[in-house]
Amino acid sequence: MKKRKVMAFGGFDVLHLGHVQFLKEAKKKGDELVVVVARDRVLRHVKHHEPYFKEAERLELLSSLKCVDRAILGDQHNTLLPIKWERPQVIVLGYDQPKRIPELRRELLAMGIRIEKIVRAKPYGTRRHKSKKVKHYFERFV
């Protein structure tokens, strides 16, 4: 029987417990979890600042997590290409990722890609585990 591949995306700059819970939740949706780590160029464009950890460091961190079967770098220009490359059955979006599910489904169909299921993860229960808060805390010491 074919393994059910799940794909999750993120910048994961300053990895924290909220990210880990998101990935654990994503892993429960299938047999193999592939995590797409945003490229430095993409993070600069989206977040409007330099990432704290370089893409290679973030890739290594994600690869070391027990719940992650494989971590790959995203594409420099088209964030949907990893979906085309990997052909997951399930995509799990973070609760705060701006892409809307119907919009993503339409974009993928336009590329000839049909996804069995696209879901949005629930937010992690505590307000402490948010990237902005973690970065803000540590910036006080730099």
Q: Helix-strand-coil percent breakdown of the chain, rounded to 5?
A: 35, 15, 45
- Return the pLDDT at 130: 58
Domain count, the chain: 1
CB atoms < 10 A from the CB of 72, how many?
16
**Residue-level pLDDT at 124:** 80
The two structure tokens encoding residue 66: 């027990």
From CA 48, how far away is CA 142, in angstroms rounded? 20
CATH of the domain at 110: 3.40.50.620
Would you give per-residue pLDDT tens digits along the chain (142 residues)?
A: 779 999 999 999 989 899 999 999 999 999 999 999 999 999 999 888 889 999 999 999 999 999 999 999 999 999 999 999 999 999 999 988 889 999 999 999 999 999 999 999 998 866 655 555 555 555 666 6
> Which range marks the domain in which residue 10 is found?
5-139
